[in-house]
Amino acid sequence: MALTVKIQRDQLPPDAVLCDHCTAKCCRYFALPMEAPTTRKDFETMRWFLMHDRAAVFTDNDDWYLVVHTTCKHLQDDHRCGIYMTRPQICRAYSTKDCEYEEDWIYDRYFETSEQVDEFMEVVLPRQRGQSIRSRRPELLPVL
């Protein structure tokens, strides 16, 4: 199997359309800003988010985001927009000038599971009065 090397932005001719060389990352998820969690209630809400399929939370420069990995229903097999002429304003405003074509998606923090949130919460929130310094006891395994 041949390894395909992605052409870097600066290697493309000046008149090249960047989208001709992309797999439409921008159409395969959406991210919404969220308040930084500071309380147990905030972290419990975050845990609930992550109990849903294809959801994650990340931080980038201390800004928190809920990300849902889902493909736009109008994205075609050639990675082009099926409703380009009538696409929403947010898509019209998006520019390839600063797009994530070469982005490696490395974040300050990235949470994919509610267990990761539990562990993080244990570290960043002060212990409640009378709370043990030990981790919670795991559930017993079923007897077969």
Name residues whose C-beta falls within 8 Å of residue 140's C-beta, 6 or more positions apart in sequence: none
Going by pLDDT thresholds of 50, 70 and 90, the confidence category of residue 2 is: low
> 91-105, 106-120, 122-136: lowest mean pLDDT where?
122-136
Half-sphere exposure at residue 29, Cβ-oriented, CA atoms within 13 angstroms:
16
pTM: 0.77
The enclosing H or E element of 110 equals strand 109-111
Structure tokens at 5: 């090397």
- If pLDDT is split at 50, 70 and 90, which confidence band does 51 have? very high
Percent of the chain with pLDDT over 70: 91
19-23, 62-66, 129-133, range with greatest mean pLDDT: 62-66
